[in-house]
A and B are shown apart, each in its own frame.
Chain A
Amino acid sequence: MSVPSQAAGALVGPALLGKRARGRASALGLTGRIVIGIGVAIAIYLIAAPLLMLLTAALRGPQDLLPFEPGAQWTLSNLSVYAEPGLWRTVIPNTLIFAAGAVSLTFVVAFTLAWLVERTDLPARNAVFTLVLFPLLVPGVVLAIAWSFLLAPNTGWVNLALRAMLGLQGSGPLNIFSMGGLIFAQGMAQVPFVFLLLTAALRSMNPALEEASSASGASPFTTFRKITLRVLAPGLLAPLILSALITLEQFEMPLLIGLPGRTMVFSTRIFYELNPDTDLPAYGRAAALALPFLLGGMVLLYLYNLAIRSADRFVTVTGKGFRPTRFKLGAWKWPGILLVLAYGLIAAILPAVVLLWASLFGYGADLPTLASIDFKSYKELFASSKFWIAVRNTFVVAGASAALVTVIGALVSWTVLRTRMRGRGVLDFISFISLGIPSVIAGLACLLLYASLPLGLYGTVMLLIVAYSYRLAVTTRLSRAALMQIHAELEEASYMSGGAWLTTLRRVVLPLLSPALLSSFLLLFIIGFREFTLPTILQSEDNVVISVIMWHFFASNRIPQAAAVGTLIIVFVAPVIFIMRRLLQRQDDAA
């Protein structure tokens, strides 16, 4: 049994922390220093180009020149975007309401589902895990379309049913094209992302603390409030902050559901600067509008660090025994199953039906017959060599970039948390704010950099791997939260027993971090599979990926073909999720 968190904190004073850090520094050895040095250098390299491009673009003008062109000058004129009254009157208030609503909804649903899957005896947990992650596989465009099928004011299926039941006339009563609709759509779309982050935290938590609370007579609610929430704080704060930033950055739902409802938020405003009424994208104004993401990121990181300043308070995995146990739901099993089914229906089954339907019949409202089923879209894709090249490229790019980011991100987290390396705060900061850099800015930075450098990367698959790998924040937040739950005494015991740094990392740290790292890999792999902004900017004949093919079909109104690609993305990625879940399960069983 592990020691309670407060007791662990009481044992570790600042002086001891310093000695431990020095001890670890000496245990690093030359190999450790080289590995960490390379890892840190790669991390900085991956983020520096898009970050510098963002800052440069924000301060270069005029608007009809690209930031790096001759004639462009340093200027503050792009900041004039903040003088527009509409921004303060409409966009910012809308954004605050939207972000607060969507993140709250996401968090309540994701936490409940994650707790059910990781901490209870809910049946078919592997299947539920895959089901919850399903919306992450479905392109946001399709999710938005699926929900507008359900909730469009005139012909939405739910509205038709409600009007028939209640004898109402006209349109409504529900309307997806509204602020409420936007919050619902974004909130539900974000659930899998936060769910994945929360499951990692919940898996690493030692339930002995909750058991001790219950044994002392505390009610389940008191235990949840005073033990579970407090011990999980780093694991909860990281997803909360990440989901807030991602909600603010996402374009798809605000464009497809917010715009028809006249709900303008920050990301749509940036989108319009990148797709302006002038002939070139207004990168300067878009970058200027993206600056608050960086500032917001700084504030959120500060608050995060403030909240978790005594890291050892959150240690739950120590050298003593640790075995995850599950809460028995008993009669509460059925409400749990109902919740999962309701979520599955709205977020997974309906979009899947819409996607499959569209791939076979287009977006039709009429009921088709069996004879009208047409596999033409699939046949067309399977016969295309370009499609299979794109499939191969997508697996390579999504897999390699996810692996690279996971490894580098974990190294960065370890360095920030376990060493006294000078500048580690800056490293933590820049890895964190990578999420605040719009992908179109990152794409432009890579385009400029690799078109100029004689490295032979331009137009290749390798270029996409590098470009995709700037989003270190996902791994650093996940692995840092997990690392904080692992007591340093485990590593020290290894050093004391003569284990070298690499051996300690491989045999002690990595096995304990693996749930977080697997979650990170999976998340980045799925994000990479769906990414279309970066490969569109950096596309060539040789590095085409599936999402670009899908987007081209969608943009040219070839909906069945686009839906067929979307369906195949799910077919390709779903087994990856299932296999990874089995891997995690096997680890549990071994424990």
Chain B
Amino acid sequence: MKHLRSVWPLLVGGAVGLALASTWVSAQSEWAKRPAVQQLYEKAKAEKEVALFVPNARESDWMAKAFSERFPGIAVKASADPQYSTRLITEARAGRYSADVLSHSLGGLIEMQKRDLLGNMDWSSFDVRGSNVVLGGLAATTHNFVYTIIYARDKVDAMDLPRKWTDLIEPKWKGRMVTQAFLLPRLMGFLALEWGPQETEKWGRALIEQQGTLVVNSNSERYLRTGERVLAVAENVATSYQHKRNGINVDFLVMDLVPATQFIVAITKNAPHPNAARLLAGWYASDEGKALSEKLNNESDLRPGSRGTLFKRVNDNQSKILLEDASTMAKRAEYYKQFSGFIRGTE
């Protein structure tokens, strides 16, 4: 009973939280009742389907189901390929257009924008804030890839956990860390904006050469699960939740600096299903879509004004959010290209 009593406030709190969240979602979905959106839905239904391109199937799985439930009669056909831009550019050269809606990182859609392959969209119909509209109005923000450290809970003492990125250079972490060749340079690109490139490179080299961090090309799950390594550096917060769902006893850390790559959604200029494309993209970029993205896929939105739980936790921790935006994107890319040579071992 004593145990139950201690859990009771948590349960009540959780229920209230859920109720508030659902009220908030429905309140934010006023746009769905507008005649313009209703008309769009009717036209979209006539098109029957919409082709969604995402870099990773994890993103499309929940979306296809949730969208079809929200807007019955429109099937989402998803294609997952991190390099779909190449395919779509090639198709466009041949006068073919198979994609309606594109979701990717800000950098991932730049090449499409350069070639004038993105379509115009009225984001305000879906109550998307102006500050969340990017690429000159062609795309809207959806979620962030939030860099973190995932740790094996049963193999690390909570008191020992690192709080700052620089803590990883302590001798106690030698031979105990794993990182991904793709993600570490990108994290370092953000850190270099704060620390400067020399200091960041010194840190990165120490992480790999001095600390013997395993640099891999696949996800960190099995290294954490088997105990081969106990810290996975430069991971995504959403990945931590996924590991948990897969039965691994892990959690993530909110570090002193919280870098966040920006993911966006856009429609294509020659979308085969233009109305369904507008409906899906608008819904995904709306607060309703973002709330579902967090609830069903543990994605986070760290942009100013976000109502996500991670945003609150990061602020409570007094961490500094390093958001990707158009002004810093080029500089960060320059840095991570510079770092990737020694991380990948190509220099």
Contact = CB atoms under 8 A, between A and B. Distances in A.
A469 to B, nearest CB: 21
Nearest to B55: A555
Interface string A271-294: 010010111110000000000000
A260 B216 contact: yes
B182 A69 contact: no
A451 B57 contact: no
Contact of A264 (B85, B239, B242, B344): B344
A374 to B, nearest CB: 10
Interface stretch (A113-121, A299-307, A358-366): A358-366
Interface in A451-497: 451-452, 458-459
B270 interface: no
Given A155-B227, A539-B79, A540-B98, A279 B344 contact: no
B96 interface: yes
Given A256-B218, A451-B94, A560-B246, A277 B57 contact: no
Interface string A128-159: 00000000000001000100110011111000
A557 B243 contact: yes
B221 A264 contact: no
Contacts of A560: 246
B39 to A, nearest CB: 28
Taking chain A's interface residues, is the majority helix, strand, or loop, or is none over half, making it mixed?
loop
Interface stretch (B15-23, B256-264, B301-309, B335-343): B335-343
A553 B222 CA distance: 15
Contacts of A255: 217-218
Contacts of B93: 66, 68-69, 448, 451-452
Nearest to B248: A362
Interface string B211-238: 0001111110110011111000000000
B162 interface: no
A272 B228 CA distance: 26
Interface in A365-417: 365
B228 A154 contact: yes
Contacts of A155: 226-228
Interface stretch (B106-114, B123-131, B164-172, B196-204): B106-114
Interface string B240-254: 001100111000000
Nearest to B246: A362
A214 interface: no
Contacts of B346: 84, 86, 91, 264, 269, 272
A86 B214 contact: no
A154 B227 contact: yes
B89 interface: yes
A84 B347 CA distance: 8
Interface in A422-461: 444, 447-448, 451-452, 458-459
Nearest to A264: B345
A21 B104 CA distance: 61
B181 A259 contact: yes
Given A171-B175, A264-B344, A552-B80, A557 B226 contact: no
Interface string B63-83: 000000000000001011101
A90 interface: yes
Contacts of B216: 256, 259-260
A447 B86 CA distance: 10
A279 B228 contact: no
Interface of B: 56-58, 61, 77, 79-81, 83, 85-87, 89-91, 93-94, 96, 98, 107-108, 110-111, 175, 181-182, 185, 214-219, 221-222, 225-229, 239, 242-243, 246-248, 333, 336-337, 340-341, 344-347
Interface of A: 64, 66, 68-69, 84, 86, 90-91, 141, 145, 148-149, 152-156, 171, 177, 255-256, 259-260, 262-264, 268-269, 272, 275, 277-281, 361-365, 444, 447-448, 451-452, 458-459, 536-537, 539-541, 552-560
